[in-house]
Structure 1
Amino acid sequence: MSGPVRAAGCVLWRRSEYSGELEICLVHRPRYDDWSHPKGKLKRGESALDGARREVLEETGHDCAPGAELPTVRYVVNGRPKEVVYWAAETTGGAFVPNAEVDRVNWLSPAAARARLTQPRDRDLLDALLAGLPSI
């Protein structure tokens, strides 16, 4: 059997231009009808960091500046282990355009993002981001 499915993503954040408050970007995937952080499978030979940046751009339309590495998430999908490496990443600009993979994005307060996230493991990533904010 081959190794785990390798993937990468980011907990994408920004400061509101109006209030200065922290906002978290969540993506809605119609295929799964879930809300999550932007992430996806790595391409052959692609580094996790390059894959995370690519996935953020593809799913949110935003470029980002990755910062602190967040906990790696491991779980099983269709009987196969999956390993997703995450970074905290501040948006550096862009605009969302709906596509087949992601039909909506929401920029939410941390509390609203926590309530909207579908998977508990994604809430753990949000907690890790918030714990690291003094260093961000």
Structure 2
Amino acid sequence: MMVQWCENEKVTWGSNGLYRCIKPLVDEWDPLGLLALGAPDDEYDCLTLYLMERCLEDWNRSQLTHDLCSFIEGHFGIGPCMMKRERAQLWHEHIDQFSYVLCTHRETLELEVHKFIEVCRTKAN
């Protein structure tokens, strides 16, 4: 199922249970340390929405780690290709640890995915 999360529908994101499950995890993770530096609360909404879309697909920890590395590098312009080997390894471990956190929440996330799909089907009919 392909879903397009529109910026102009941003006010409704918070009513989505999947969004409410993932956003606090992403914000607590603060992968680039931007929230700790005072960035706006919506700094990582792009990442939250990306993960919401990923939850609609089949995923595992290793693939999620790889895809997160690619997404962050593509979106924020920061990634292992510009790091020394030791730093790149730490970066990968940091992202892999977050993937593990998502895996520990998988049951809750999947429940919210099913609810979300039902809402989408209802709206489509």
TM-score by length of 2: 0.29
- Structure (1 or 2) with the larger CA radius of gyration: 2
Question: Which structure has more strand as a fraction of its residues?
Answer: 1
Question: Which structure has more helix as a fraction of its residues?
Answer: 2
TM-score by length of 1: 0.28
